[in-house]
Amino acid sequence: MARTGRIFEQLNRRQFLASSAAGASFMAASPAFAQKADVDLHLPGGSGEREVAKHFADKQDLILLRNRPPLLETPMSVFDQGVFTPNNKFYVRWHLANIPTEIDVGTFRLKVRGLVNTELSLSLSELLAMPRVEVAAVNQCSGNSRGFFQPRVPGGEWGHGAMGCAKWTGVRLRDILDRAGVKPGAVQVRFNGLDEGAIAETPDFVKSLDVDHARDGEVIVAFLMNGAPLPLTNGFPIRLVVPGWYATYWMKMLFDIEVLDRVDDNFWMKTAYQIPDTAGANVKPGETGFKTVPINRMITRSFVTNLASGQTVKRGAPLALRGIAMGGDVSVAAVDVSVDGGATWKPTKLGRDEGRYAFRAWSAELAPPKEGKFEVMVRATNTRKETQPMTPIWNPGGYMLNTIETTSLSAV
């Protein structure tokens, strides 16, 4: 159990670090790093330049959308460094204002209750002693890219950086549920984290999965992210990882699992995070009265990461392009680029396959551009032959945008 011991030691150290954060939020007493970051802070169509977050001890050079509850976005340039997003650059999203800044790893317990044969109260050392699995998976907020919705919709006005990819290590949720013994008649499994609203009226943030999904062997309770304990802001000490599904289900600071004999009808399942039950979650702007379903699996997307709109490149020289793609809940099959507005597409070279749920790197060399402005479009297709739409979708929640992205460049 030497390995378990070492992780437990790391967890203990993390608790010590976490407790040094100030006050009733994650904010460090003083900024621990440079305040001027080399990141693109513009959100096209937005109200000018955004700020760099300075008060989060475990984060560096993220774009600040809100301090409390925190909304911190990863700049696109980070995704150019590799398919795994470093923990200190990984985006952060919380709904509720009261988030523990200190976790006592000795007394922390994960409860399992409801429709089970034996209720459990698992310590972190018990969890660390269970069989361990690792999965590379993209964590993406349902509202990633909401800032690009036209007409605009209320909510976190994210650019494209409410996503990240990490190697998550933990135990299978199925193993935990089997240890408790799920009783016949179970319908959903509900997850709760330690965060709470500032006022009693705020519905507690809880999310549920169908019992078969919860028991599919892929959903895990993770305690390591890229080999290190989770940052406090990403759910220390444990969080749910639901590969291929939007991050709203990836409950952070998970402490309570309840097996239900019914479909969960709490606010965060029944009212919030509902999408139109239409192809691509698309409805006409302003449309109402359509049938909705809880948001679920992710869809395919791709981005250029080495160049940003507005940049100039060298005319008459081959143009190197790099980027990332994701398949959604299946692998990326192809990434193509177009320089003629989508009339013709050229295949790119895919990077190493890190698994169906991970980002996939891609690269291409384009023919030397002539002097003047031009546009590069990038389009991913997954193994289910689903691809990205040319025209933007719309829905009132600002969810699931996956339009083909266009990068406007000029050759000089």
Ligand X SMILES: Nc1nc2c(c(=O)[nH]1)N[C@H]1C(S)=C(S)[C@@H](COP(=O)(O)O)O[C@H]1N2
Give the interface with ligand X as residue ranges (CB under 6 A).
90-96, 139, 141, 193, 195, 205, 234-235, 247-248, 250-253
Q: Which range in 137-145, 215-223, 250-258, 307-315 contacts Mo ion by CB under 5 A? A: 137-145
State the DSSP H helix or E strand holding residue 211, giving kind and residue range, or none if neither. helix 211-214
Minimum distance, C-beta of residue 249 to ligand X, in the bound complex (Å): 7
Strands 372-382 and 405-411: antiparallel
Round to whole Å and give the CA distance between 5 and 125.
Answer: 8
Query: Could you please report the per-residue DSSP string of 249-268?
Result: GS-SSEEEEEEESS---SHH
Nearest CB to Mo ion, comparing residues 141 and 241: 141
Round to whole Å and give the CA distance between 67 and 64.
Answer: 7
Of the candidates 32, 67, 69, the residue with the CA atom closest to the CA atom of residue 53: 67
Minimum distance, C-beta of residue 82 to ligand X, in the bound complex (Å): 18
Minimum distance, C-beta of residue 112 to ligand X, in the bound complex (Å): 17
Q: Specify whether the backbone of 286 is left (phi greater than 0), alpha (psi in -120 to 50) or beta.
A: left
Contacted by 205, from Mo ion, ligand X, none: CB < 5 to 8 Å by type: ligand X
Token pair of 394, please?
């719309």
Q: Which sign, positive or negative, has the C-alpha torsion 65, 71, 72, 76? A: negative
Could you tell me if 296 and 409 are in contact, meaning their C-beta atoms sit under 8 angstroms apart? no
Strands 346-347 and 332-338: antiparallel
Minimum distance, C-beta of residue 370 to ligand X, in the bound complex (Å): 42
For the chain, the farthest-separated pair of C-alpha atoms sits apart, in whole angstroms, at 71
Minimum distance, C-beta of residue 233 to ligand X, in the bound complex (Å): 6
Contacted by 292, from ligand X, Mo ion, none: CB < 5 to 8 Å by type: none
Q: Which range in 138-146, 204-212, 364-372, 396-404 contacts Mo ion by CB under 5 A? A: 138-146
Minimum distance, C-beta of residue 71 to ligand X, in the bound complex (Å): 9
Name the closest residue to ligand X (Cβ): 193
Residues 6+ positions from 380 with CB-CB distance below 8 Å: 300, 301, 302, 325, 326, 327, 332, 334, 335, 387, 388
Q: Which range in 248-256, 271-279, 329-337, 369-377 contacts Mo ion by CB under 5 A? A: 248-256
What are the CA-CA distances from residue 294 to residues 209, 245, 327 (Å)? 10, 11, 20
Nearest CB to ligand X, comparing residues 96 and 411: 96
Contacted by 94, from ligand X, Mo ion, none: CB < 5 to 8 Å by type: ligand X
**How many helices (H) and strands (E) are present in the chain, helices listed first?**
6, 25
Round to whole Å and give the CA distance between 289 and 43.
Answer: 31
Counting residues that bind Mo ion (by CB under 5 A) gives: 4
Nearest CB to ligand X, comparing residues 91 and 359: 91
Q: Which range in 2-10, 114-122, 244-252, 402-410 contacts Mo ion by CB under 5 A? A: 244-252
* Out of 141, 163, 299, 364, the residue judged to bind Mo ion by CB under 5 A: 141
Contacted by 252, from ligand X, Mo ion, none: CB < 5 to 8 Å by type: ligand X
Residue at token pair 């070279």: 349
Minimum distance, C-beta of residue 353 to Mo ion, in the bound complex (Å): 27
Contacted by 127, from ligand X, Mo ion, none: CB < 5 to 8 Å by type: none
Minimum distance, C-beta of residue 239 to ligand X, in the bound complex (Å): 7
Token pair of 41, please?
């802070």
Nearest CB to ligand X, comparing residues 105 and 334: 105
Minimum distance, C-beta of residue 323 to ligand X, in the bound complex (Å): 21
Q: Which range in 44-52, 92-100, 272-280, 321-329 contacts Mo ion by CB under 5 A? A: 92-100
Which residues form the interface with Mo ion (CB under 5 A)?
93, 141-142, 248
